[in-house]
Structure 1
């Protein structure tokens, strides 16, 4: 019984599922069919209504046609006359219409041409207006510029007038200063001539006194009896060294300058390696003390101050530099030359420096202020320079075979000494009394042995003894002696050309 109830329920469930499935598949079809059937009913009703209206309309139309035929039969003749007149009028109107159309076309063309001309005129007018505005703006700018130029011109005229007045005043003052300068120079020349005359008188007096003293001493010596021959003592010879005491590899590359300190315990070397090396001389040996750097090109010359506190280096980078010896630090950099600095020297102390350059200028410097005090223009290129502090002078050697002496206060050339060849170097003694000049062919000593008794020894064994009175080189000496074979025929006190190889011995 339980089994029978279960399969029934199962069959019922299956039938319900099938019914639901089929119902869902055809439900929209049934819905659409119902809607279509309702729509067909509505359309049928509408059709019947429209059919009735059509029948009634046809009947009315038929009635109206009958009435119209009846009325037309009476009015057809009048209508034909009216229609004929109207047709004629229409024909005339069509003819007038054609004329008017042709006129309209012509007028349209004329209007189009006028429009084009008017548009071109408008465009030209707008261009002219823009150009007029631009010209007006440019005119305003030019007017403003003219006003500015007029103001600037007026200001320049005022400045010119002021400068003219100032120039006149300066010219007057310059003329006065020039007159004062001329008077002072004339007075200085007179004083110098007086000083020279007094010095000459003093020299003559001293010379006479010395001669008188020597005469008295000779008379006293002649009155004494001498048992033994007099011993003259040793002779001191001045010869060029031939043996090197020490040899040092100083710099990398070529060495341009080597200079000792005044004490001789230290010397410096410099060259193309842009370094200045300081060497100590200890027991005949040279030891490197320090290397000074800072130059951007080769160093051409060096110098030490008298107190041996600083060293000066002239460089090809248009400047010269000062280093302190105590700490080997760069102290001052002096710039101002337009070309490489050829040589530089201290003037009496470490506070003043004189430099010469390839730009043919001589500059005097204040080291403390790094300021150029004076620039002297030279007519020839200089090779070396020395400073004579005792006379306030600077001496330069030039390529044109001249030695020039300059007054460091006024910058004027006070004296020029002509030499036989190009000057390559200068040096001055510690007492500022003599100057040595290294030339291309020979060595010259000025005033070194003046008024001293010397003996001139020649390579052939001949010699002469006397008082040296004048000398400008070893081949041109004025010797107060009576040696016949050495005398120049033109000047009995001047040595002949036979002195090309000689040595000086100071008695």
Structure 2
């Protein structure tokens, strides 16, 4: 065994075969394991030897004690004899013997004391030996446990090696796929150059055509304005209404709207009058009191969000069925269904050109769809919680998302990744850019607070606490950019002045109750009115110039998840949790 464990053996036998090397390692490990308790055994043997010496010494002392006892007995006998004789010599001898007896007694006492000490040491050594045996047992158990752990870790290492091999294969496949995609990209670049050249030619033709159409439109507008003047004079003559400063409120009359059809089979047309219809100021016509003429159930799950497109031609809804539906604003027909989300869509928004739609989802991601192709352009992943809001900046170069994970992220759409993460102290229910570049943001949170952020530094500009008693469900910016509208679960809406950060108005009404954590309110396109949906399906309209409730209309019976105004001011759209979408259109 010493031959295998000597250092020179490994050096002189470097050419041994693999199984011989494994055998040598196992023998060395066995020697190490078997010699792990050599120190304890040697200590034990030493203690046993000492114990034997003490036992021999104790026997010697006992023999000496017996000898001294016998000698004492003999001396006592001699003393008695000498006392009987009584001679001076004998008396002297007696004194000496008595002195010897006293010395022997003292020696015997010392021997007893030594014997007791030896016995105590023997007990102590036995305790030490017992402790060493217990420690040896514990060490053996620890060695067994570590051996099992080592075996488990060895198995895991083998598994990881196999996984790494699989990863290497996957990487190779991805590299091959990347090379293929790069080749395709080169072809696409060539095709793009051809298309850009063709697009330039089409653009010139389109500009020429649009100039011709603009001339025709100008002629039509002149004709339409003259017809409106004639119509207004006729209404003034019939109903006696006086028109002052181009604001008029003609008497209402029933309107029969044509029946609308839908591919889903849920569409119903309405013919109904709800009182004063519209107010006109300058070129912007804002419908205040609406007539519901179309409602339908296009989704298979609850609707969470509704949003009108900036061009006024479409509106979109996001649902728990993981899809976004794009509707035609004039007919209410479904134009597109956008899919690809893994979880519920919590918020939808258009970019300024109405070419793309952003959808925030419960699968911790936001997605961008290109409406022309109906396909996903980008998937923005990086949040670790549900994403409740996703909005474009003015030039559609960035998207801002707010999440349940208490972060706000700014995504560069050219680069395709997050360029800024802003950490807040509460879940973000809604976030809106305050300028075209998206460098300043305002966000509403679960902790009832409204926060303003500087994207460039990632720090908060202002935090408004205590303006609501419940979580803020939505944030909107007025068309002129001077105010922020908040909606809250405390059943109030607040108007905040962006210059002073003061609450200008608190909007509330009997019967108004915010029915969802994502319920969203909105400004009218001219900024004079605010609309919000209630728990019972009613829609409330406030005149913020007069700080009063203007009108309440109801066509739905479930909690309203959102109201949005068409930018042309002539339509509004609402959706509820019962999968009903209502298009509100006013009389002309």
TM over 0.5: no
Greater helix share, structure number: 1
Give the structure-1-normalised TM-score: 0.44
Which protein, 1 or 2, shows the higher relative CO under an 8 Å CA cutoff with sep ≥ 6?
2
